[in-house]
Structure 1
Amino acid sequence: MLQAVCLRGLLLLLVGRQVYTEQCLKASVNTCGDCIKSGPGCAWCKDLNFTKTGEQEAARCDTPAVLKEKGCPPTDIINPKNDFIKISNKPLKAGENPVQIQPQEIQLDLRPGMPYTFQLHFKRAQGYPVDLYYLMDLSYSMKDDLENVKNLGNDLLKELNKITGSARIGFGSFVDKTLLPYTDTNEAKLKRPCSDKNEPCQPAFGFQHVLPLTKDGDKFKSMVAEQHISGNLDPPEGSLDAIMQAAVCVNEIGWGNSTRLLVLATDDGFHMAGDGKLAAILEPNRETCQLVDRKYSLLIIINKLNKLIPKSAVGVLSEDSGNVVNLIVDAYNSLSSEVIMAHEALPEFISVKYTSDCKDGEKPSDRGKCDNVNIGTEVVFDVTVTVDRCINSQSFLIGPLGFNEKLKVNVRTRCDCECDDINQPHPHCKEKGKVVCGSCRCDPGFLGQHCECQVGQKDVASLKAQCQKDNGTECEGKGDCVCGRCQCHLTEGGNNFYGEFCECDDEHCEKYANKQCAGHGKCKCGRCECNEGYEGAACQCAKSDEDCKIDGIVCHERGKCVCNQCECQRGYKGPSCKVCPTCQRPCQESGSCVECLAFGTGPFEKSCVENCKHLRHVMVEKLIKHDCRVKDKEGCWMLFTMTEQLGFDKYIVNVLKDRECPEGPNIAAIVGGSIAAVALIGLLILLIIKAVLYASDLREWKRFEKDRKHEKTSVSSVFFIHKTPTLHIRSNCLKLFSIHAFYEADYVFISFYRVPTRYSRMLRPQFKTQHFLEIHERTCWC
């Protein structure tokens, strides 16, 4: 694939004009400078006597036409215009040193928001020099193409010289970044990335500049002949890295004042923005020349090549690149006939638009582009520059893509007024201030339209605070604060605003049928005072309440009849305010009143008449249904219904004569139950204690029985008794001991088995004959 990129130039001729809509949208205007900044249609009247007494200085700011209608002399209207000055204006010419942009530098003095349009004339110069830089992919798959390019120099120069009298060619090459995963970073592979050991191969590299631009075709051939194929891992190549360096390394490449052609020869795609993250390259391209010993390897952030480079052409190389010369010539002819006007990065708040009027080419468009432009054909561009707000002096460049010739545009903003004032005290300002563009600028300590107010001990803020209603706008924006009092302005009808803070006027009331107060009343301080027989906010209705009445009652006494229609209150709806969908009956709230009215008890017992005037009660023997069920002071339930009457919170209450009172408690049952409960609880506690003791004794006895069965009989002590033995043992001791007595010779042998400790303590006082015996590790008294 062959991709040719052409960055070209235009001839410019500037003819100025300005277009804007004349209207003045002023806000917070106190000085001439504020007025000029408000919009391109605003002008200022500096006539000393233009404003009337009490009239705000903002009245001086309006469109020139309105100011003239109000009596401002045309010579006193300050209305700065855009200004255009040619700083450098060399004439256009062809030949050895062609000039293709005229003028070369301009000065624009612009008002904020006021656009200025000038014309740029372009004319292609005959024999304009051409610089061609051949940028070639030297990955291994381009091996056969490299051999053909080595013989390309003289043929390419010959064809280019047929088109232009001066042509130069240069050469550069690229592969890819020398980082994983783009290139094998093994040391041996970096030095020799080619797989064929017998093939000449150069170390891996990103971009290298081989030959600066030259007219010597033989030198091109010899330098390219020294180049060898290299290699990388992934299919995409580092094309964009190489393009960036070839474009920004102006001195190293040798770009001149000429048409610049950049020819890219490759057989694969290119790495895009974000691909560098795979190699941990996070820094964006610096857009500066990074060549060191004519080699480069950096990240570039751009997206699709053919969309980002506006003047580019694409062609398909044959397998051996044999058609490269024809492709380059065709691409140059195509690109050179395309004219694109562009600007560099613009300063903040400045905008530029282009409109092209092409001859023998495209119709006028907003693209700033013309196609099919032949040599000697003139093309006109309208360039419109607008500044949105006041800024410091700025400059930017406009020029044709592909040429070094640029138009430098210097921009200043016009945000101040030139009123030619005398810088000294003026009688118009009571000798206490100076006149600045028709208005008094008072000396410290003085205020007022004519500096007539001496502040004294008070500061400006405290005086102005006296002219503000509820910390609002000074004099409601309808007057001037003079010495702490409002001096009201005139209304549009020529009458004065009035009131302490100029809050009132008699010209801005509601209208009906395009008539103020419908013609049936007078406007007083912004509200209509209707004539007899009329009503409504705009006095638009004849007074009548026939449609609001039901049985002679207007709106059920729950609203007002306005324009013969009910305006209901407090949630009531309907044509007569009869129903309230969201209202609930006040059962609980009315309970105390119902209790005192019906039964003579409750909190309002002594003040029932005063507190319950809104209720009328009726005692009934039976209720078909009851809306309310409320408990009284004695704990009984009162049942009643509430029927709403005219007006608000007025009810007729039907109260059931008999209340529902709960029966008293059974004292005997309560006392008996309490005693039984206490007895049962005590018995339960005793049973629990007994069960615990029984379980513990049973556990000890079982352990004793188990030990007795498995232990061998052992004699703890033997007593030799020479008389007939007598043994007294109580019955309960026999239950606890296993005692074996037998006679042998003249003595008795008694053996005891081990008895639990607890039993030894229990039995100790039970024996009367007290012979102390040791039975294993326990003691027992017998």
Structure 2
Amino acid sequence: MDREGKVYTEALTLDYPSVYQISRAANSSEVHVVFAVIERAKALYDALSKQVELSSTVLIEEDSSNIVDLIISQTSKITTTYDMVATGYPEEDMEVTLTARCPKGNGSTCAGLVLGNSGVITVSIKLKRCPPSDKPKKTMFTIHPRDNAKINATIAVNFLCTCQCEEPEVSSARCSGRGTLECGTCACEGGFFGANCSCNMDSEQSNEKCITDSSGAVCSGRGSCVCGKCLCDQFEESGSTHSYCSETLCSESDFSCGPTKDNLCYNHGDCRCGNCTCHPTRTGKFCNCPTATERCYPSGSGDMCSGRGRCECNTCVCDRKDDNFWFFGDTCQYCKDCGDFCTGEYSLMPCLQCEWFNKYKNFKVKETNKEQYCKSRKCHLVTNYTIVTREYINELKDKSSCKATDDTGKCEKEFWYVLLNETAYEVYYIDEDAACTDDNKISEFKLRGYINNPSETNELYKDPVAKMQNPLYGGTASNEL
């Protein structure tokens, strides 16, 4: 600017930065760019914001009266992700592991940080070997985000490769009286082992009890065997420390239940050592099944899965006897090759006994039997009961007939059925009363003398023998017929 601060004097010397230069400079400095513009310029800056990483566009009032609110709101939306690394340490001598505990992320990645949040980075150092004598016994290294070494922490490490030990203590109490304590470690006597010499090889308390499979891995490779029992390792999950389960030889944890770690037991139960304890309304290995069974019953009434299967996860699993005979359908209501429909387990006769209940005068069905007849397995497959004429029956093709008997055993009524397909049938019958054999009426007829002495007891009686003369007959034989 000139001395008065009114005119830009470097217009011919310097050029405006390109969009790429703006984006690179902002990203390298971790600057979040906010374009605060008025309404008529917003579309232009929206397009620009797409080209500049970590930038956004907001509307500002003509008089800039909302500038403070915009700054506060945009600052609160800024989130940061750091992939933490350790550098500068002798990898041949030591191993460094970083574990992030943050709102999001896993391993060494700390994500989801917003203004006011904090994360914790745990540094674990494992000594691989003592440095050679010609190398220093001290070192330093730094931890920092992978792409920004300016934000860092320095850690100093001293290698303690030797220590001054106390005098050896024979039969030390810290070694259960079965070993010598030297430099804080028990040297156990023959036959004993363990950190405190508390385990006896002769008592079968050995590593064999801690091996789960043919691979020979002790405690599933996730722990150590102490006196025949697994002491399992710990691990970080969901922001807290957990350990594998000793009762499963460290093979499972409270995060081992399916289907995924983010959906343990389908959120319908509690996971303990790989096993789900389901809430009262759920069942199944991963609590994925409801305990309800209403969908396993035929509509209206009937047995569960029509008595032809079992109910699992509120769904029928139908019985199957062989490749030629099985049940199917939502409630196992359909049958493949169920056999004779006039007799047997899948007879259609109970269906007609239900249909004709008190419908025909001579066809008697007991009230106590009606419900049983109406629940017959085969009745679910009948699509229609149709009243027809004798002429219709005569013309009906592919029909089969049966006779249903009432509960008295003396009256029967014929019906016909047509197999539409392997899962449906139509039933036809004629609208007329049943044909009955009434032994009581015959007995009464005999008792009243209608058969033995009809002429004496029945005023309407007429002699059935007729006499007539045959004019063509020339003999002398009797003319009685």
Where is the strand percentage greater, Structure 1 or Structure 2?
A: 2
Q: Which structure carries more helix by proportion?
A: 1
Normalised to the residue count of structure 1, the TM-score between the two structures is 0.19
Select the structure of larger CA radius of gyration: 1
TM-score normalised by the chain length of structure 2 = 0.29
Q: Which has the higher contact order (CA 8 A, sep 6+)?
A: 1
